[in-house]
Every structure is written in C-alpha cells, then in structure tokens.
Amino acid sequence: MIVEIFESLRAQFPDARMELKEEKPYPWIFLQSEIIRLVCGHLKTVSGFGYLSSLSGVDRADCFEIVYHLTSIGSKKNITLKVRVAKNSPSVESIEPVYPSAGFFEREVFEMLGIKFEGNKDLRRLLLPEDWQGYPLRKDYKYPAEYHGIIHERGGSVDRTKKGNK
C-alpha cells in the first residue's frame, strides 16, 4: 500500500528527492523539507489522509528529524513521513494550513528542540514558561543550575541502571 502511495507521490512531484524506507515493522517515506506542505496537501485531498495522528521531533546525531504520522479515516490506513533538517539552522515549512491541529504539535516541537516552523500562526513556547532558556529534548541539553532562585540539585541525570547509583 505504501508503495502505491510512494509511486503516486513520485509521479506528482517528479523533481523532489524522496526515498521509501522499507523498515520493519512499519515503513516510512523520507522527504525534502521544502515540499512537505505540498505533499501533505496532496495526501489529504487525493489519498484521503485527512487526520494528523502525531507530529514529533527527534534529535539524531547529525540532524533533526520531524516525523509525521497521518491516518486515513476512510480507508483505515496510516502512513509515516519523515523530514530531515540540519542542526545549525533547523527550519521547515509548517503544515498548519493543511492540518490545523499541527499548530500545537509544532509549537511543542519548537520549544523542545528549537526547530522553526515557517507559517505557523503562533510559534511560541507552549508547555514551558516563556523565559525558559534552551531546548530540553536535545541530546546535548544541560539542565540550568537554577531557575528564578529554585536550585536544580543534580546538574544532569543519574543513571539508575548502574549498580552504585540506586
């Protein structure tokens, strides 16, 4: 099923770089960050994937990945799309015009990983206070020593799987 969708996307956007990754248990499609909104629009109108299940950001070693899980309520199928952005200037098109629920999802990815979404109507911190410094879900994130006078005791995490640290 995902092969047909991949082929139809290939046909629709011939000069874009896409890749189908046939991984177990579920495959996904890699896309360029410039065409994500067009692809989502195409998938929504033509293939019936009108429901955005989830939008998440992942901090890989060399880049950021943004993962989109779309669901088709009519045909009860789902599809996974991935976009990679560079770490030094992470920015990607927002799919809020296509899926309004992406507004909140993208705000959360923005505040946790620092990825900018162009076209999101209200890109600001969602869960954390407005004056929080840093992007917590990044792998190189250091906890602040204190926040408004509240001291953070341990300056990192304690690995409880190591024997001495129970």
Partner 1 sequence: MSLLKTETMVINMGPQHPSTHGVLRFILTTDGEVIHSAIPDIGYLHRGMEKIAEQITYHQFMPYTDRIDYLASMNCNWGYALTVERLMGIEVPRRAEFIRVLVGELNRIASHLIAVGAMGSDLGAFTPFLHAIREREWINDIMEMVCGVRLTFNYMRIGGVSYDLPEGFMQNLTEFLDYFEPKVKQFNDLLSYNKIFVERTSGVVPIPAEKAIGFSLAGPNLRASGVQWDLRRDDPYSVYRELEFEVPVGKGEYGETGDCLERYMIRINEMVESIGIIRQCIRMMPDGERIAKVPRVLKPPAGEIYARTEAPRGELGFYLISDGSQKPYRLKIRTGSFTAMSIIPDVAQGCLIADLVALIGSLDLIAPEIDR
> Site residues (CB under 8 A) for partner 1?
23-26, 50-54, 56, 58-59, 67, 69, 73, 76, 78, 80, 99-101, 103-104, 112, 125-129, 136-137, 157, 159-161
Question: Which residue, chain included where needed, has tokens 């209200």?
Answer: 122
Q: What are φ and ψ of residue 132, in 5° steps?
A: -75, 140
Q: Of 16 and 72, which has the nearer Cβ to partner 1?
A: 72
Q: Of 86 and 134, which has the nearer Cβ to partner 1?
A: 134
The residue among 69, 74, 13 whose CA lies nearest residue 39 is: 13
Q: Of 4 and 23, which has the nearer Cβ to partner 1?
A: 23
Cα dist from 24 to 27, 47, 75, 102, 134, whole Å: 6, 23, 22, 27, 34
The two structure tokens encoding residue 51: 């429901």
Q: How far is the CB of 8 from partner 1 (least distance, A)?
A: 21
Q: How far is the CB of 20 from partner 1 (least distance, A)?
A: 15
Question: Which residue, chain included where needed, has tokens 């929080």?
Answer: 132
| Secondary structure element (H or E) that encloses residue 41, with its range | helix 36-45
Q: How far is the CB of 154 from partner 1 (least distance, A)?
A: 12
Q: How far is the CB of 141 from partner 1 (least distance, A)?
A: 8
